[in-house]
Structure 1
Amino acid sequence: MSRAFVKESDAVEELPEKLVSEHRNLVTPEGLRLIEVEVDRLQDALAEGQRSGDRDVIQRVSRDLRYWNQRLTTAEVQAAPQGTDTVSFGATVTLERDDGRVQKFRIVGEDESDPSKGKISYVSPLAQALMEKSVGDVVMAGAGEAEIIKIE
C-alpha cells in the first residue's frame, strides 16, 4: 500500500541502529551482570509493548534489545587484576593531578563506564595513558599531568 494511504498516526518512523564500538567488548563481571539485567528489562518492555500494541515502543525497544543482545554475545569477561604492580583492565587507580587534586578511577568496559562515579572506559584517553604504568609514573591527564599514587 502506498504511504499516501497510511494515516499519519499509523506511520512509525524508522529508528537508526545504535552504533556498536569497533573495540573489543571487554567487561568486568559486574559489567556483564549490568548487560544481562538490561537485556532482561528490555525483554519485559518488549513483551509489554506487544501486549499493548504500541508500535513505537516495540520499534524502540526492539532496536535497543538488538544492541544489548549483541553486546551480551560479544562480552569478554576479564578476571580481576592479579597484581597491583602495573595498571590493567579492572584496576582502580588513584592519581594526584598537577593542581593537587586526588582522583580515583576504575578502568572498566565501555558500557559500564561512568566517569561521574569514577569508572572510565578502557578505551578512553586517560585509561590508555595509564595502562601498564606503575606507582610513581606520570601520565598526561587532560591538559595537565597526573602521578599514579596507588593501584588497587
Structure 2
Amino acid sequence: MSRGFVKEEDQEEIPIVPPRAHLPEGTTNYVTQVGMNALLEEKEVLMGELGMVESENENERRIAINHINAKLKLLNNRIATAKIIPLEDQPKEEVRFGATVSLKIKATNKTQRFQIVGVDEADITKGKIAFIAPLARTLIQKKVGEKAILKLAKEERVFEILEISYV
C-alpha cells in the first residue's frame, strides 16, 4: 500500500541520528586498541539501552528503538571497517599513527602534547587529534628535532618536534 493512503498518525517517524565523526570516503578507518575498545563499549551501552526501552505508548517505543538501531548501524559500520594499528609496531624514531608528540610552538615558545588517533577517538580536550587533521598530516614522518609547518589561511605555524612516544 502506498504511504499516501496511510493515516498521518500511523506513519513511522524516521529517527534523526547525527553522523559519526567525519571519515573521508575511501580513507582507511585506523584505530588504536584503546579506540576500538571504546567503540565496543559504546556498542554494549547501546545494546543495553535497546533492551531497556519501555513506554506506555507503542509509537514512542518504536521510535526509541528505531533511534537506537540507527545509531547501532552507524557504529557497527565503524567497528567492521576499523583497522587496529598496534602501537608497538610503529617506528619509535618517527611520528606515525598512534604517536604521542610533544611540540614546541615557535611563535609562542609554548609546548603542547598530542596523540594522533582515529576519528572516533579524537578529542582535543584530551590531547587527541584525528590522523586526518591538518596538524596530524603535517607531523607524520617527522623526527625529533625536525620542524613541521602548518599552513593556515593567513599565516604559517611552525612546530618543533621535541619528543615522540607510543604509550
The normalised TM-score by structure 2 is 0.80
Confirm or deny: 8 A CA contact 2:17 2:67 kept in the other structure: no
1:89 to 76, 97, 114: 97
Q: Report the counterpart of residue 130 of structure 1 in structure 2.
A: 139
In the alignment, structure 1 residue 63 sits paired with structure 2 residue 63? no
Task: Give CA deviations for 1:53-73 in whole Å, capped at 9, x if unaligned.
Answer: 422321221111001111111
Which piece of structure 1 moves more, 107-116 or 40-49?
40-49
**Matching of residue 12 in structure 1 with residue 9 in structure 2:** no
User: Which amino acid counterpart does residue 19 of structure 2 have in structure 1?
Assistant: K
Question: Separation in 2 of the partners of 1:18 and 1:120?
Answer: 18
Q: Normalised by the size of structure 1, how large is the TM-score?
A: 0.87
Q: 1:39 aligns with which of 32, 36, 43?
A: 43
SS at match of 2:78: helix
Contact 2:117 2:130 (C-alpha < 8 Å) held by counterparts: yes
Alignment correspondent of 1:110 = 119
**Does the Cα contact within 8 Å between 2:101 and 2:164 map onto a contact in 1?**
yes
Match in the other structure for 1:146: 159
Aligned pairs, how many? 150
Higher alpha-carbon deviation: 115-124 or 16-25: 16-25
Q: Tell me, what secondary structure is at the counterpart of 2:13? A: coil
| Structure 1 residue runs of 4 or more that deviate by more than 6 Å after TM superposition | none
The worse-fitting range, judged by mean Cα deviation, of 124-133 and 39-48 is 39-48
Structure 1: runs of 5 or more not aligned: none
Identity within the alignment, %? 31
1:79 aligned residue? 86
Unaligned runs of 5+ in 2: none
2: CA distance, partners of 1:130 / 1:28 = 18
CA distance in 1, matches of 2:76, 2:149: 36
Contact 1:18–1:63 (CA<8 Å) still a contact in 2?
no
Secondary structure in 2 matching 1:85 = coil
